């Protein structure tokens, strides 16, 4: 039997979900929502979207094997990467030194929300004064932390902490976040920082090798870091890095809204630390399943302003919940990429696993030369899980249950008791 033969596409198979837990969870969601076959409709939509995409690639939906589909998608990624690279001024699309600064400038020009609620810079500097990062100071040639903070970019220093300091130092440093209060935060724009290779060298080589890309972010400071890369050539670098930069803009704003919502909690600092360290999935329960804030933010973020519930106010405003898929911003910047719209949760099932149309997974796979057997699926599966919950939350009964739990969970300022 052909190992790449197409099989029946189901949500369970696409997610490689554990049974019988997955089927039981869907059954509970259906009962709680009062609507049947939400999963069936989503599955049919996924198949329809993928078949439409295959047709645009010149592939026969009934007679295409997994490797053929995967290669067809990678070919389109290669085409779009080159088009995008030249659209932002690149002459050598795989030249890392040339493309990374152009990518950063392109993101600055894109129209999208950038405000986030994050730690005040003088508070972040105070933490470093109280606990100087010896590894970074040695690397940069400083003996005085005050001098370093005066001359260096704070986001760059914080970005280097996880790579230059020891695990013990980091654990002790992270404890300081537990002392934070909402008054230690402010609203300011997200900052994208390209960390120079001549200063930081291969400091993040292990991270890049593990993640297979060079982008990371600091939720607490509203900073996105473009880490230094060892290679001088990287095919597909434009589409990969641009998509990830837009993804992390969403991530920072996601947690910014979450922290805003949590500021009425009496133990705000502890919630902040726990979220940074472990991101526990302790949100409202929908039909026995904990719903991550990511799902709630995406659901309400796509509603019109007047549809936002009052419980989010006064701290969380409709603009805080605004959310758009990374590829939506990309295809508005470059209409050639419009084919990836709403494809982040789409894949087709074959006997050896799904082939996805998720642009971030495909761009990383293309850039890294990932063979069919090792194809990326992480972002696709996360998007599909989120989409499932969003679809069920769209039923009024479950939306009301979520809002009621959020309302009950919120401790109003006037209810707080303060000790003398």
pLDDT digits (tens, 9 = 90+) for 257-269: 889 888 888 889 9
What distance in Å separates the CA atoms of residue 402 and residue 388, rounded to the nearest whole number? 15
Q: What is the mean pLDDT of residues 374-392?
A: 92
Is the pLDDT confidence value at 1 over 50?
no
Q: Quote the tokens at residue 290.
A: 């904990």
Q: Are 188 and 220 in contact (CB under 8 A)?
A: no
pLDDT digits 0-9 by tens, 131-180 = 999 999 999 999 999 999 999 999 999 999 999 999 999 999 999 999 99
Whole-structure pTM value:
0.85
User: Residue 355 in contact with residue 364, Cβ under 8 Å?
Assistant: no
Are 358 and 344 within 8 A, CB to CB?
yes
> Confidence class of residue 308 from pLDDT cuts 50, 70 and 90?
low
329 pLDDT band, cuts 50/70/90, is: confident
Number of other CB atoms surrounding residue 169 within 10 Å: 16
Cβ atoms within 10 Å of 71's Cβ, excluding its own: 15
Which pLDDT band, with edges at 50, 70 and 90, does 398 fall under? low
In order of 136, 141, 164, the CA distances from 169 in angstroms are 12, 19, 10
Contact between 372 and 66 under an 8 Å Cβ cutoff? The reply is yes
Residue 313 confidence (pLDDT) above 60:
no
pLDDT band with cut points at 50, 70 and 90 for residue 416? very low
Of residues 37 and 345, more confidently modeled: 345
Across residues 221-238, what is the average pLDDT? 93
- Rounded to a whole number, what is the distance in angstroms from the first to the last CA of the chain? 76
Average pLDDT of the segment spanning 44-66: 95
CA 157/CA 307 separation, integer angstroms: 41
CA of 291: how far to CAs of 297, 375, 390, in Å? 11, 28, 10
On the question of pLDDT at 204 being above 50, the answer is yes
> Tokens 């990511």 identify what position?
294
Residues paired with 354 in a beta bridge: 349
Q: What pLDDT score was predicted for residue 172?
A: 94
Secondary structure (3-state) at 76: helix
pLDDT of residue 98: 96
How many Å apart are CA 184 and CA 177, to the nearest integer? 10
**Residue 174 neighbours by CB under 8 Å, 6+ apart:** 273, 276, 277
pLDDT tens digit sequence for 77-119: 999 999 999 999 999 999 999 999 999 999 999 988 899 999 9
Confidence of residue 413 (pLDDT cuts 50, 70, 90): very low
Tell me, what's the pLDDT at 192? 96
Query: 244 and 361 in contact (C-beta within 8 Å)?
Result: no
The average confidence (pLDDT) of the chain is: 86
104 or 332, greater pLDDT: 104
Closest alpha carbon to 16 in 391, 282, 364, 350:
350
Q: What distance lies between CA 70 and its chain's CA centroid? A: 23
CB 95 within 8 A of CB 89: no
Give the model's confidence band at 372: pLDDT under 50 very low, under 70 low, under 90 confident, else very high.
very high
Collapsing DSSP to helix, strand or coil, 316 comes out as coil
Please enumerate in sequence order all residues whose Cβ is within 8 A of that of 255, keeping only pairs 6 or more positions apart, or say none. 219, 275
Which percentage of the chain shows pLDDT scores above 70?
85
Q: Which residue has the tokens 């995406």?
A: 298
Burial environment of residue 38 by CB neighbours within 10 A (0 to 12, 13 to 18, 19 or more):
middle
Instruction: Tell me the pLDDT band of 25, cut-offs 50, 70 and 90.
Output: confident
Of 1-5, 90-94, 329-333, 382-386, the least confident: 1-5
Check residue 28 and give its pLDDT: 86
Beta-sheet pairing, 285-286 with 289-290: antiparallel
119, with CB counted inside 10 A (0-12, 13-18, 19+), is buried
pLDDT at 311: 53
Contacts of 29 (CB under 8 A, 6+ apart): 38, 286, 287, 289, 392, 398
Between 50-54, 253-257, 267-271, 311-315, the lowest mean confidence (pLDDT) is in 311-315
Query: Quick one: tokens of 84?
Result: 């995008």
Rounded mean pLDDT, 377-388: 92
Residue pointed to by tokens 């998007």 = 383
């Amino acid at each position: 039997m052909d190992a790449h033969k197409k099989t029946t596409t189901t949500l369970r198979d696409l997610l490689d979900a554990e049974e019988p837990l997955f089927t039981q969870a869907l059954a509970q969601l259906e009962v709680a929502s009062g609507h049947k076959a939400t999963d069936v409709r989503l599955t049919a939509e996924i198949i329809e979207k993928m078949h439409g995409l295959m047709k645009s690639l010149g592939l026969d939906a009934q007679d295409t094997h997994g490797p053929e589909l995967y290669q067809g998608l990678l070919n389109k990624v290669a085409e779009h990467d080159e088009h995008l690279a030249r659209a932002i001024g690149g002459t050598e699309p795989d030249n890392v030194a040339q493309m990374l600064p152009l990518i950063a400038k392109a993101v600055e020009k894109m129209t999208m929300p950038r405000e986030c609620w994050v730690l005040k810079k003088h508070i972040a500097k105070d933490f470093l004064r109280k606990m100087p990062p010896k590894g970074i100071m040695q690397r940069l040639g400083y003996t005085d932390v005050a001098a370093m903070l005066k001359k260096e970019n704070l986001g760059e220093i914080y970005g280097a902490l996880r790579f230059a300091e020891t695990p013990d130092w980091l654990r002790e440093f992270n404890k300081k976040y537990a002392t934070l209060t909402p008054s230690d935060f402010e609203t300011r724009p997200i900052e994208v920082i390209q960390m120079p290779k001549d200063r930081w060298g291969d400091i993040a080589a292990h991270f890049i090798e593990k993640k297979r890309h060079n982008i990371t972010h600091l939720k607490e400071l509203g900073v996105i870091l473009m880490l230094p890369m060892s290679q001088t050539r990287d095919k597909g670098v434009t589409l990969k890095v641009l998509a990830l930069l837009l993804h992390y803009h969403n991530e920072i704003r996601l947690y910014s809204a979450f922290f805003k919502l949590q500021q009425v909690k009496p133990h705000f600092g502890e919630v902040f630390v726990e979220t940074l360290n472990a991101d526990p999935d302790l949100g409202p329960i929908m039909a026995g399943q904990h719903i991550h804030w990511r799902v709630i933010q995406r659901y309400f973020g796509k509603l019109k302003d007047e549809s936002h519930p009052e419980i989010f106010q006064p701290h969380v405003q409709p603009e805080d919940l605004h959310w758009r898929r990374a590829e939506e911003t990309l295809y508005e910047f470059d209409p050639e990429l419009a084919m990836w719209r709403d494809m982040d949760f789409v894949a087709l099932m074959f006997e050896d696993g799904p082939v996805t149309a998720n642009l971030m997974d495909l761009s990383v796979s293309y850039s890294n030369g990932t063979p069919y057997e090792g194809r990326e699926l992480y972002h696709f599966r996360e998007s599909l899980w989120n989409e499932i919950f969003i679809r069920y939350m769209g039923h009024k009964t479950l939306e009301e249950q979520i809002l009621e739990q959020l309302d009950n969970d919120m401790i109003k300022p006037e209810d707080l008791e303060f000790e003398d």
